[in-house]
Amino acid sequence: MPNEEDALFGAVDALLEQVAQDPLPPPAERKRLREAAGLSQGQIAKALDARRESVGNWETGRSEPRPPKRAAYARLLDGLAARFPVASNATAPVQDTAVRETSTGVPAPAEARTVSTNPASGAAALPAEGNTRPRPAKTAAAAAASPPVRAVRQSATSRRPGAKKAAPADTPAGVDPRFENGPLAVVDVEDGNVVAYCVGGLVLDVPAKSIPALVDWTLREAKLGQPKLSGPGKDADPLLVLTEAACERYGLPLTLTEEERLAGRLPESHKVIRQLARADWKLTKRGFGPWARIYRPAQGSVRACVQLCIPSWHALGTRHWGEAGQLPPAELARLLGTYASRVMTPRGSTAVTGLELMTALHPPTRASEPDANGVRHSEHNPGSLGKDPVDPAPCEAPDGHPVLNELNLPRFHVRSPAEKLFEEAYDWARPMTDAECTLRHLVGIDVNMAFAAGANGLVVGLGEPTQVKQPVFDPKLPGSWLVDLSHVDLSRVKVGKDKWADLDASLLPSPFTPKGERPEGPAWYATPTVAYAQELGYDVRPVEAWVRYDNGRYLDSWYNRLRDAYLATMADLGVDADLPPADFLTAMDGYRKRDPELALVVSAVKATVKGGLGKLRERPRGEGWKPGQPWRALSRPTWRPDIRAAVISRTRINLHRKIVKHAAFTDQYPVAVLSDCVVYAADGESPLDFLPYRDGKPLPGGFKLGVNPGLVKWEGTQSVLWGEGVREQFDAPELNLARYIKDGTVTDQDSGE
């Protein structure tokens, strides 16, 4: 009898599962419940014997669970809803929510999100769901400055066919109909079908059965891409991000072998590369790697090129993109789409994209005026670096550069400061004084986007250098100067017009060397460094110089683009540019947790700045290179170590100027400086405990709390006992504590042991 009852009950349960079609909570509520319980999508997928991507689709409304998983999922959500009810003062999410769309051409995701617009950049803001920290209200002036938005409705589960007609009537103004589906798409396999997740929640069916067919479909029907950033420039090529399922469907390996990883590409014998060759598609010199570019030679002004990004091949490095490569397709499309709309469509790593952004904003050539026959020709675009590379001055060339061959230096010769320009970021520290040891805390402050701020308004050389003997120093002329600055005494410096200050030079780093040591004789310096010696009130008399008479503010538009991207994304995370100091510190507390995806965009923007500047002096990357031979990067007009040196010089000088102003006013000196981080001893744990604010106003020319590039934020606080203990542990009285101030973790490897 019990067995018969069990069988009957089992049959009834099966029927109930088949008809269990009661409405599930809205997608946004599903995500809220999971996050409130601290569960990951992977955990739920494992419990329901489903794919993690499917759980992500259920939470965005792009698909619905089917029996028998639907009943189990509903039971889970009911249980979570009982434990984590919606707060009484919270607005419950709705199934079909109107979202805002701006004139940037990047629609907001179709899930329930509130989208704001940053007045400075006009970029669509994508704040997180379930944000537990209320965002500070905008002022009436800021609200009035925001461009108008219009409400639209789009089903989150709608899927338009791959081949579509002209842009619909409700396409936002300013959106190029050629690229109405956004700059990129994440290609995945769902229920056996290949689909492409675009920005704004749009999902396209992909009929392509092979990589060549996928490229052809992208160019003919997908309507993906991004308009050019500059008049003479080129439109950005569409980007396809292939998930593991897509790689498997198209015959690509899920991961590269060790040999392929070291080579950075698939072997030429791979079947997919043979397929491309048979279809007359070509690959760039980088081959078929994590960032592959597939093209056919341009026909006139018409380009035929598609870029692939393969996260499972480590295209999105965790150092700068975090766990972006593990996100569900829709969320990854949102993250990369936000970066693309505010910076540019990724062209490779953040470093590569940073460099490509410079070229996109200042293309090397432009169309000339029509000649007598009405024909236009390609000509140099003023303000750009041109299309041909230029050699650096010998002092600017890194070791092994071909221009050094003419100097006939002895083998293994180490060039001195009088032979080599060495402008690098700070790495300086000193022992604490007895008075500092009586204080309780070490507080670190960090300059926001320091190197971007250093590039803002900087005049850099555009053409070749000219050698000058016994020159008269000109602070407006970019170049490298051989000059003796050892006479500059920091114990008495000029801090304003006809205003001098007496300082304790032993507690200050020298502004002229990365290690903060006082120079001992003539050395090569970039223009900003020498100009600062004059600013401090001392004469400078260069012996020699390599200067660039063809110059300009090449990096201004690059800085503006990245600044706007950074500020817009930080505003979406609740950190506005006009917050008072205390409110700013509160807003910065845990801002990354409010929307982890947007926090990754912030990290990527910062990495784009540093990486792009680093690419200006890219070193050989294997390939059998030997000293004295050219390497691949030298063929680029954007290989410009002098520009990198000038930016770093100005960044270091900007920081030293603030340190001096702070010391002159407060008699407080830094304990350690690392790149853009400065550590002070203080009685309190907050930067407000030692920064001299009066009536909410900072010290003119000193440190100021805020989110704008060049202003500072709190980096971390540790106890003075911790600092002394770490230095004693490693027997290093001048161990740079700025390296560890963020979380206090120190390892033997970090300390150099």
- Domain assignment present for residue 188? The answer is yes
Question: Would 507 be classed as within a structural domain?
Answer: no
The reply to whether 52 falls in a domain is yes
Amino acid identity, residue 229?
L
Domain contains 307? yes
Structural domain count, the chain = 2
Residue 67 sits in the same domain as residue 121 = no
What is the domain-level CATH number for residue 32?
1.10.260
How many CA within 13 A on the CB side of residue 30? Answer: 27
**Domain end point (choices 300, 321, 345):** 345
CA dihedral (289, 290, 294, 298) positive or negative: negative
Name residue, tokens 């994440």: 186
| Distant-in-sequence, close-in-space partners of 592: CB < 8 Å, separation ≥ 6 | 573, 599, 602
Regarding whether 122 and 23 lie in a shared domain, the answer is: no
Give, in order, the Cα–Cα distances in Å from 221 to each of 23, 238, 336: 36, 12, 21
Query: Can you give the pLDDT at residue 748?
Result: 61
Residues 198 and 312 in one domain: yes
pLDDT the model gives residue 9: 65
CB 236 within 8 A of CB 228: yes
Same domain, 74 and 118: no
Which structural domain range is residue 47 located in? 17-83
Amino acid 87: pLDDT: 62
Same domain, 21 and 103: no
pLDDT at 36: 84
List, for residues 301-321, the tens digit of each pLDDT value: 678 999 999 999 999 999 999
Give the separation between CA 179 and CA 162, rounded to whole angstroms.
13
> Is the previous residue joined to 311 through a cis bond, with omega within 30 degrees of 0?
no
> Contact, 101 vs 150, CB < 8 A?
yes
Q: Is 693 inside any structural domain?
A: no
Which residues are bridge partners to 240 per DSSP? 185, 308
Task: Report if residue 44 sits inside a domain.
Answer: yes
With beta carbons less than 8 A apart as the criterion, state whether 189 and 51 touch.
Answer: no
pLDDT of residue 21: 54
**For residue 186, is it within any domain?**
yes
Contact 121, 567 (CB under 8 A): yes
Residues 317 and 207 in one domain: yes
Residue 33 counted as domain residue: yes
Global confidence as pTM: 0.79
Residue 443's φ and ψ, nearest 5 degrees, are: -115, 125
User: Which pLDDT value is given to residue 746?
Assistant: 85
Query: Same domain for 29 and 116?
Result: no
Residue where a domain stops, chosen among 25, 56, 83: 83
- Alpha-carbon dihedral sign for residues 238, 242, 246, 247: positive
Task: Looking at the structure, tell me whether residues 65 and 184 fall in a common domain.
Answer: no
Q: Based on the domain organization, do 208 and 314 belong to the same domain? A: yes
Q: What are phi and psi of 609, to 5 degrees?
A: -65, -60
Q: How many helices (H) and strands (E) does the chain have?
A: 23, 25
**632 phi and psi, to 5 degrees?**
-55, -40
Residues sharing a CB contact under 8 Å with residue 345, sequence separation 6 or more, in sequence order: 183, 184, 225, 226, 236, 237, 238, 239, 307
Query: Do 197 and 62 belong to one domain?
Result: no
**What distance lies between CA 19 and its chain's CA centroid?**
49
How far apart are the C-alpha atoms of 581 and 698, rounded to whole Å? 9
- Run of H or E residues at 213: helix 211-220
Whole-number Å distance between alpha carbons of 306 and 35:
37
**Same domain? 73 vs 202:** no
What SS3 class is residue 441?
Answer: strand
First to last CA, the chain: 75
Select from 16, 351, 63 the least CA-distant residue to 191: 63
Q: Which residues of the chain have pLDDT under 50?
A: 20, 89-171, 749, 751-753
Secondary structure letter of residue 466 according to DSSP:
E
Residues 6+ apart with CB under 8 A from 556: 455, 456, 457
103 and 236 share a domain? yes
Using alpha carbons, select from 238, 360, 354 the residue that is nearest to residue 307. 238
Domain end, chosen from 345, 362, 393, is at: 345
Q: How many residues does the chain have?
A: 753
